[in-house]
Amino acid sequence: MTTDLLANRSRVLATATLVLVVSMLLANIAYWIFPDALGSFMGGFNLTAMIGQLNANISLMPWWQAAGGIVLSSIPLLILAKGLLALRSLFLAYSKGEYFSSESADLLGKVGKSVLLWVLASLVLTPVMSVWITFTRPAGERLLSINFEPSHIVALFLSASLMIIARSLSNACSLARENEQFV
C-alpha cells in the first residue's frame, strides 16, 4: 500500500470516527426523546437497551426519569467517545505520516484505556440504570439487574491488548531516539 493511499484511508477513518461518535451520542439521546419513532429501528446502546429487557415504556416515564436515563446511559458512551476521539487523532497523525512516534503510542494507549473504562462504567451503571428505570413502579415490581456478558470479556481483552501494544510502541520510540543520539 502506498503512503498516499494509507494517508487517504486514515483521513477517511478519522472522518468516519467523528461521525460515529456524534451519531452514537445523538442516537442515544434521540432514543430517549422519541422512543416510539426509533424503538422499532434500534434497540438502544448498551444501557439504553435495558428498556426493552425490563419491559419499561419511556413514553410513560416522567420527564425527570427520562432525563436521568439520558444522563446515566450517556456516561459510558462519553467515556467511549473520548477513546474514539483519541483514535481519530491517531488516524489524523497517520494521515500526516506520523507512524512511529510517542504521541501515536500515547493515543493508542488512550483508546485502550477508554475501552477498559467503558466496560467498567457499563458494569457499574447497569444496576443503577435498572433501579432508575423501575423506580416509579410499585414496591415488589422494582428491579436490580446485574449483567456480565462474553462481549465484556472480548472488550477487556481488546483493551489490554491495545494498552500493551501502545506501551511497546512507546518503548520502541524511546529506544529509537536513544539510538539516533549515538549515531
| pLDDT, one tens digit for every residue, the chain (183 residues) | 566 898 999 999 999 999 999 999 998 998 888 887 765 555 556 677 777 778 888 888 899 999 999 999 999 999 999 999 999 999 999 999 888 888 999 999 999 999 999 999 999 999 999 999 998 888 888 888 888 889 999 999 999 999 999 999 988 888 877 777 775
Q: For residue 38, count CB atoms less than 10 angstroms from its CB and return exposed for 0-12, middle for 13-18, buried for 19 or more.
A: middle
Grid cell 472522518 — which residue? 15
Tell me, yes or no, if the pTM score tops 0.85. Answer: yes
d(CA 17, CA 83): 10
Q: Is residue 76 within 8 Å of 28, Cβ to Cβ?
A: no
Q: For residue 6, count CB atoms less than 10 angstroms from its CB and return exposed for 0-12, middle for 13-18, buried for 19 or more.
A: middle
Q: What is the pLDDT of residue 92?
A: 96
User: Which are the contacts of 127, defined by CB distance < 8 A and separation ≥ 6?
Assistant: 144, 145, 146
d(CA 37, CA 58): 12
Q: What is the pLDDT of residue 143?
A: 84
Q: What is the pLDDT of residue 40?
A: 54
